[in-house]
Every structure is written in C-alpha cells, then in structure tokens.
Amino acid sequence: MKPYFYENTWKVKRTYGGERLHFGTDIMDIEDERGRLPIVSMTSGVIEKIGWNEKGGWRVGIRAPHGAYFYYAHFFMYAPDLYEGMHVESGQLLGYMGDSGYGKKENTMGHFPVHLHLGILLTIDDREVWINPYEILRYLEKEFLF
C-alpha cells in the first residue's frame, strides 16, 4: 500500500487569508504524521526561495534550468544545509512532510492534515501560469514508482 494519496483539487476554493483558488496538488500522508515522508525535488535547478511563507509554511521554491518554478510547501523540516542559491538535483532530499502554514507567526502548525503542496509555475509568452501537477504526478507514479 502506498504511504500517500492525492486527488485532483485544482482550483478548489480555499478560504484562509480570503477566498482564493488552489493552484496545486496536495499529496497527503496516510498516517498524518509530521516528518515521516520525505520530499524530494522533481527537477534539477536552483533554490530560489526557502523559508517561511504565511500560507505555505516552511517552503522551498526551485527554478528549473528551462525556467519552470517548482513550489513545495508545508514542510515539517528541511534536509540539512539547504540554502537559497544552492543547486539541487532531481531526486535530492529537500526535507519532510508537515502541516506548517496558515499563520503569520513562524512555525505555525496543525491547521490541516500533514501533506505536501506541489505547485508548478511556467512562463508562457512573458506570462506566469500555474499548471495542474495532478496528471504529471499520475504519469510519474505509473512510470517510476508503482
């Protein structure tokens, strides 16, 4: 049995911080346990953002070589020695799933189940566009995991 699950929640309404749409896929830990499941990078690239974000909690943003931006949110903890400007490889450990976020105060946790929020941002004709990671995750899971 897989230790996680995910559903297509693209553009489902969210309400924290005002009504908005969900631009990503949440990968849920079936045990709902902080720090249990690893988060690895889907791409090589450079860490562009790392640290606290009110909605995303502890998060990492990676810019891939061809410009796509991969946003990973709600970490419990990071892998050692990650920093902005660092080059990472596809498959490299970034940290562990958590439930951080939904708070202005750093280290706010417990407002939702343990999961990873994955967002993918592309630049198309000088316009930034979030794309739905759901089908990409399904493809990768079938080809490489199970």
The CA distance from 123 to 144, in Å, is 27
- 44: three-class secondary structure by DSSP: coil
Q: Specify the pTM.
A: 0.95
Q: What's the CATH code of the domain at 134?
A: 2.70.70.10
Largest CA-CA distance found in the chain, in angstroms, rounded = 42
**Residue 62 CA to its chain's centroid (Å):** 10
Tens-place pLDDT, residues 105-133 = 999 999 999 999 999 999 999 999 999 99
pLDDT of residue 17: 82
Q: Which residues pair with 118 in a beta bridge?
A: 25, 72
CB atoms within 10 A of CB 34: 19
Distances (CA, A) of 34 to 29, 78, 87: 9, 12, 26
The sign one gets for the Cα dihedral 11, 20, 29, 53 is positive
* Number of structural domains the chain divides into: 1
Determine the Cα–Cα distance for residues 48 and 16; give it in Å rounded to an integer: 25
Per-residue pLDDT 10s for the chain (146 aa) are: 899 999 999 999 998 888 999 999 999 999 999 999 999 999 999 999 999 999 999 999 999 999 999 999 999 999 999 999 999 999 999 999 999 999 999 999 999 999 999 999 999 999 999 999 999 999 999 988 75
Measured distance CA(47)–CA(61) in Å, rounded:
6
User: Under a CB-based contact definition with an 8 Å cutoff, are residues 42 and 90 in contact?
Assistant: yes
Residue pair 118/133 in contact (Cβ under 8 Å)? The answer is: yes
| Domain ranges, residue 39 | 4-145
